[in-house]
Copies of this chain bind each other. A is one copy, B any other.
Amino acid sequence: MRVSVLRLGHRKGRDARVTTHVGLASRAFGAGRIILSGDRDPAIMDSLRKVVENWGGDFGISYEGDWQAFLKGFSGTKVHLTMYGLPVYQVVEDLRQGDGEVLLVVGAEKVPGLVYELVDYNVSVTNQPHSEVSAVAVFLDRLFKGRELHREFPEGKRRIVPSAKGKEVIMQPRAQGGLPGND
C-alpha cells in the first residue's frame, strides 16, 4: 500500500514547524511522499529534503498550488483526518482492503467544508483536539499495524543503533565517501 499525504493550507511562518513535523512524521511512519499546499515555502521543502538525504529512503516532497484539482484527480482512496470523522478503528480494516494508493489529507487551522465532501472517508484519531502531526502518525501506525517501526531507510548517511543510555550513530561509509564535506 502506498500512502501520500496532502498538507492543506500551509501558512508561511506560523505553520513552519508543524508542517515540517507533519512531513517528518509522514516519512517516519511509512508514507511515501508529502504534497504541500497553501503558501509555497521552499525552506520547509529543503529541510525535509535534507532529512531524506541524511537519513535515507525515497520520501517524495512536492508542492501543489491547486489542491482541489489534485484531490479531485487522485484516483486512489482519499482519507481526510479530522476530529469530527469516524473512528480510525472502525474504518482502518476497510482501507487495508483497497488496492493500493491512499491519500491522507490533513489541514492546518481551518479546513474548507468541500474537503469533507471530496474525500472517501473522514476519519478521526480520537474525537478530541490534538495535532495533525499525531493524527498522521497514529493513523499510519495503525494502518501498517506497526510494521513501519521495523522499516529500513536505505541510502542514508546516518543510521542510529538503538541504545539504552546514549546516542549511537553510524555514519554510512557509502554516502560519506560519495558526498565529502556535505554534512
Size of interface on A: residues with Cβ below 8 Å to B: 53
Copies of this chain: 2
Contacts of A87 in B (CB 8 A): 149, 162
Q: Which of B14, B116, B159 contacts A166 (CB 8 A)?
A: B116
In the complex, besides A121-B164, A134-B136, 12 extra interface pairs with C-beta distance below 8 angstroms are: A17-B18, A21-B133, A25-B131, A25-B134, A29-B138, A84-B166, A84-B169, A122-B163, A122-B164, A124-B162, A127-B159, A134-B134
Ranked nearest first, the 9 interchain pairs of A and B with the lowest CB-CB distance are A134-B137, A21-B131, A127-B160, A28-B128, A28-B130, A133-B133, A25-B134, A24-B130, A84-B167
